[in-house]
Structure 1
């Protein structure tokens, strides 16, 4: 059996095992990673729609809030913000979507029973298979692409709500079908979702074109800090807590800022240093392709994809910048 055939067989077995887990159990807790993006939120609501079809009991939850611009998603209003609405009770059957590792679940893990069984559905290459049941395809463009395969495996009934969730996850994690993860399979799924009634142009306008005033003000501050290495292969910007306050910005207003340094001609890796606490910085990594930033981020305790990753690094800002830039420079060399 060839390597590709063996991987397909393993994936097929994982789909069957995940479907069995969903059919044989009940009372599920569905969680995505902290600070959810379009794919994480879309995967959460898509699982909710799946469980609804199976007539299962479930709770959709996240450690924090879900971006307002995703409020059009079906079941968006049902996703509990644990930081504002402490939920009661413990759950044995957990469905984790788009979490590269267990820590990305955040404080929601406090709601797991000691004997909790986790179904881990994800597409990150750095996923450490923390679930009792793992459904992982690292060459998938988004977790919703895996969910599409799962829904086909389970022969679910498709409707425009489910199609909207799948399309949204694909749209956001492929950068509007521009990134290298946009495969023929992705485009075939997208076309199928459009046939089901998804308004693709409206979603693109809402998710890719519109910007909040806070985002623009934050971008203005970030670009004023733009810096480069001597060879101009690495570029970075910084955003402080004071910048956030002055711009009246929230976490969702950071979307896309890290792409600006990466998109400069000649730059191989773009970085965003975001202050999240005293001597604590969340670092966003974006690669033009020469460096695997998932590996770099993992060396700092983070993770992600070859071209897009993140990590939290502690220390004085100048020290953090130096450590991260040196690590990226070594990867490029």
Structure 2
């Protein structure tokens, strides 16, 4: 048994030997984050364990079809006045990415850290990290198999959703033959791929269209058209009635332009706070840029949060990109 398989066995034993779990994930949860967290909840249910599943803020409503979605606590709206000794963290690259949840940890907390980000700092007592996995959902599948959990339609839906969303609908370069094998297996349990793709990847809101109009008007090219950057101000969100969920995915419009190597979006949920999203094509590792600014992620998809004005954030990010590109 190799080291990784041993860690999967340790993770399953951790879940079997304890009870009363807190399940957490990263802030601004996506499909992999949500699917993986709910997959952990479903596995705990099979063991007859109790759990509370939380996120610092709101989970996008488009994932509302996932089983146990209604059990997700938004700590911003529903504070929890107690602590937990046993914690499962999924898809969180580092302790900062978990958000404001550490007040829920007991002094003797034990954390099971399950993740696929290269920037993960192994903050757990138990760490199941595989950086070549396309999604944390891929690791959750391996945990399901290693721990001899029973796959069913609910668990399959969570795993499939995580794979689908973190591979961009099985289009990104992280789509491996193993990913496709898992996806095919999940279909055998009744997963409806067309419905999930429509819900997660295709359907957009009117507010998204409105905020997209504002964002595209701000689009600018830098460094010989190798970088495309767009911005969304807090005033844009207020004017259109759009939420941060509606503003999700805007960075892809910048990245997908022909000839562009890095796409950047700067989104201001409230004045003085800038959410930075970075997407690259081939040779530029944007995770290192994000990490240098207090964030993290993957080589081709990363992000961070800056406490600054929009103008200052733009200068900071472009300066970092200039260094990487070797351009003044």
Deviation at 1:288, TM superposition (A): 0.8
1:81 equivalenced with 2:84 (yes/no):
no
Structure 1: gaps (5+ residues): 1-7
C-alpha distance in 2 between matches for 1:161 and 1:280: 37
Contact 1:97–1:143 under 8 Å retained in 2 = yes
Q: 1:272 aligns with which of 243, 260, 265?
A: 265
TM-score, scaled relative to structure 2: 0.97
Aligned to 1:196: 189
- Which residue is equivalent to 2:281? 288
Give 1:215's aligned residue. Answer: 208
How many residues were matched structurally? 326
**Do the aligned residues in 1 keep the contact of 2:276 with 2:306 (CA within 8 Å)?**
yes
Indicate which of 247, 251, 254 corresponds to 1:254. Answer: 247
- Cα distance, 1:230 vs structure 2: 4.4
Pair 1:308-2:301 in alignment: yes
2:313 match: 320
Q: 2:309, 2:105 → 1: CA distance?
A: 35
Match of 2:18 in 1: 25
SS of 1:294's equivalent in the other structure is helix
Q: Give the corresponding residue for 1:16.
A: 9
Q: Deviations over 1:189-233 (max 9, x none)?
A: 000001111000111111111101111111110000000114000
Q: Show the counterpart of 2:125.
A: 132
C-alpha distance in structure 2 between counterparts of 1:83 and 1:289, whole Å: 38
Q: 1:189, 1:249 → 2: CA distance?
A: 36
| Contact persistence 1:234–1:267 (CA under 8 A) | yes
Deviations 1:253-298 (CA, angstroms, capped at 9, x unpaired): 1221100011000000000011134333111000012200000100
C-alpha distance in 2 between matches for 1:201 and 1:315: 41
Per the alignment, residue 65 of structure 2 pairs with 72
2:96 maps to 103
Q: Give CA-to-partner distance per residue, 1:78-132, whole Å, 9 cap, x none.
A: 1111111112321000000110111121122211101110000011100000000
User: Is 1:90 the equivalent of 2:83?
Assistant: yes
Secondary structure class of the residue paired with 1:95: strand
Structure 1: distance between partners of 2:270 and 2:199 = 31
- Residue 3 (structure 1) aligns with: none
20, 39, 42: which one pairs with 2:35? Answer: 42
CA distance in structure 2 between the partners assigned to 1:162 and 1:317 by the alignment = 41
Q: Write the deviation string for residues 144-174 of structure 1: whole angstroms up to 9, x where unpaired.
A: 1000000000111111010000000001100
The alpha carbon displacement at 1:313 in A equals 2.1
Residue 228 (1) aligns with residue 191 (2): no
Cα distance in 2 between the residues matched to 1:48 and 1:250 = 28
Partner of 1:149: 142
Instruction: Work out the CA distance in 1 between the residues paired with 2:274 and 2:71.
Output: 31
Equivalent residue number for residue 158 of structure 2:
165
Deviation at 1:323, TM superposition (A): 2.0
Corresponding residue SS for 2:120: coil
Of 13-22 and 265-274, deviating more is 13-22
